[in-house]
Amino acid sequence: MKAPIDRRYAETHEWFLQDDDIVTLGITQFAADELTDITYVELPEVGRKVSVGDAVGEVESVKATSEIFTSVAGVIVEANVALADHPELINDDAFEEGWIAKIKVESPEALRSLMTAKEYSTFLRG
Amino acid sequence: MTETLLRTPLYDSHVQFGARMVEFAGWEMPVQFRGIVEEHVHTRTACAVFDVSHMGRLKLTGPDCEPFLDWICTRNLRDAEVGRSYYSHICREDGGILDDVIVSRFEDRWGVVCNASNREKIIEWLRSHLGGRNVEIADETRSTAMVACQGPRTLELAREIAGTDLSGMKRYHFTVRPLGTVSIAIYRCGYTGEDGVEVVLPAGLTALLIPKLLGTPESPHPVICPAGLGARDTLRIEAAMPLYGHELSEDWDSLSAGQGWCVDLDKEFIGAEAMRKVQAAGVPRRLVGLELDGRRIARQHARVFFGGSPVGEITSGTLSPTLGMSIAMAFVPAEHATPGGAVEVEIGGKLIPATVVKLPFYKRPQSR
């Protein structure tokens, strides 16, 4: 399972990509594949303040419903509205087109405690 | 749990065709190959092959099979014809549904196909209710395979691949074809709402059959594709076919599960007395279809509301690939079962508006 090395990963299968004070959040391709065809995404509200461990949305597939958790604290500044009509973007391209939300963070080292791509790959094999 | 999962004779084929395998009722089964929705649509438009070898296949022999099965089953089997299959329930004395099964009458034996999750329970139930009748029960689940070919092009492809014309065989009929020293049973049955067949064959013959149906991963059959349990579930929901553990359980009798059509209260069977009482008192609930607003899926046990009060419970739901909307089955009291009625379904803490509709959600076009 390939995981891009430019970002960090949580055990709950979200990815976090930091660009200055904006962290983009999505779910991994592994999680998308596990869920099978995604049919609905509950997006977080822009402007909402979130803490580490908060559920910021939900992804639903024909098989299951799964919550999306944030591993960074901050304020939601953007949600991927394209997912409202095309939730399958997550299955097709979980790491790029299928991003879920952008969070403005205060800490420049917000991702430090999260897994690297290599660690996440090992975690998946575990 | 370190329990070893059972594998069907098609296991290697599944892996070769890129299946994602999951645990299901103690078996390692493919949930999907290329995608649930894709496999679903393929079944509705062409032909898909499902491995259903995990289902229990029991062989009953002996002179007392007919009276025995008629006593065990809700369906009247006294007039059962050779070459026909009958959907039935097996219930406890109090009417609680132990399983739903397909009973088939062969010339020299009877076949019972039961759910994988209930196989051991049903074998035990049959053996303990023989009451001295002369019936032998053999479990052929592991020595055979069962493959469902489903979709509007199935019969055309059967002609092409096997040179066999099945168009004269009606639904819920079957035929036995000798093949050397063994035989293959072909049933015009299915669990998808499409036309199609289910084939039971000796486990060792799957290595011959599968390449004929699917080709190889490098050179797949141009029309037939493998499909997994995921698509099987969304297909059966559209066709409103009940699934044990969802619409059916030991907690309710067949009438209260909305399956009274497979119950003959004019005969004696285990559970008949209890169901006559249910009938006399009035069946307390109805199985209905719901079409929900939006794209969210109502899951099993989600509550159905009317006027702010809970009145029922969802049994199965999905986003229907054929209809493009969120559909679900639910049990509600009779007063809320009228098609066109408005209710609400609780999903993620919100109440989603839904409309009661007639079942099934999908019916295949006739005469094609």
Q: Which residues of B touch A62 (CB under 8 A)?
A: 36-37, 230, 233-234, 297, 318-319
Cβ contact (<8 Å) for A65 and B299? yes
**What's the rounded mean pLDDT across residues B195-212?**
96
Average pLDDT, chain A: 94
**What's the rounded mean pLDDT across residues B307-320?**
97
Read off the pLDDT band of B367 (50, 70, 90).
low
- A98 pLDDT higher than 80: yes
Read off the pLDDT band of A1 (50, 70, 90).
low
Alpha carbon of B116: minimum distance to chain A alpha carbons (Å): 20
Q: Is some CB atom of chain B closer than 8 A to the CB atom of A86? A: no
Residue B272: what pLDDT?
Answer: 98
CA distance linking residue B234 with residue B36, whole number of Å: 8
**What's the rounded mean pLDDT across residues B312-328?**
97
**B110-114 β-sheet, strand order:** B84-91, B97-105, B110-114, B56-61, B136-139
- B115 pLDDT higher than 80: yes
For residue range B31-66, list pLDDT tens digits in order: 999 999 999 999 999 999 999 999 999 999 999 999
Nearest residue in A to B328, CA atom: A62
Tell me what percent of the residues of chain B surpass a pLDDT of 90. Answer: 95
Read off the pLDDT band of A126 (50, 70, 90).
confident
Average pLDDT, chain B: 96
- B139 pLDDT higher than 60: yes
Nearest residue in A to B229, CA atom: A63
Cis peptide before B360 (omega within 30 of 0): yes
Q: And the tokens for B187? A: 């049933």
Q: Which residues of A touch B348 (CB under 8 A)?
A: 42, 58, 65
**What's the rounded mean pLDDT across residues B319-329?**
96
DSSP A116: P
Nearest residue in A to B318, CA atom: A62
Q: Nearest Cβ partner of B318 from A33, A62, A91? A: A62
DSSP A111: T
Report yes or no: B14 and B30 within 8 Å, Cβ to Cβ.
yes
For residue range A18-47, list pLDDT tens digits in order: 999 999 999 999 999 989 899 999 999 999
For CA atoms B258, B338, B236, B318, the dihedral sign is: negative
Q: Which residues of A touch B35 (CB under 8 A)?
A: 36-37, 91
**What's the rounded mean pLDDT across residues B120-126?**
98
Read off the pLDDT band of B368 (50, 70, 90).
very low
Tell me what percent of the residues of chain A surpass a pLDDT of 70. Answer: 99
Read off the pLDDT band of B314 (50, 70, 90).
very high
- A99 pLDDT higher than 90: yes
Cβ contact (<8 Å) for A33 and B20? yes
Q: Is some CB atom of chain A closer than 8 A to the CB atom of B20? A: yes
> Across chain A, which distance is largest between two alpha carbons, in Å?
38
Q: Is some CB atom of chain A closer than 8 A to the CB atom of B35? A: yes
- B311 pLDDT higher than 90: yes
Q: Which residues of B touch A36 (CB under 8 A)?
A: 31-32, 35-36, 230
DSSP A71: S
For residue range B140-161, list pLDDT tens digits in order: 999 999 999 999 999 999 999 9
ipTM for the whole predicted complex goes beyond 0.90: no
Q: Is some CB atom of chain B closer than 8 A to the CB atom of A116? A: no
pTM: 0.91
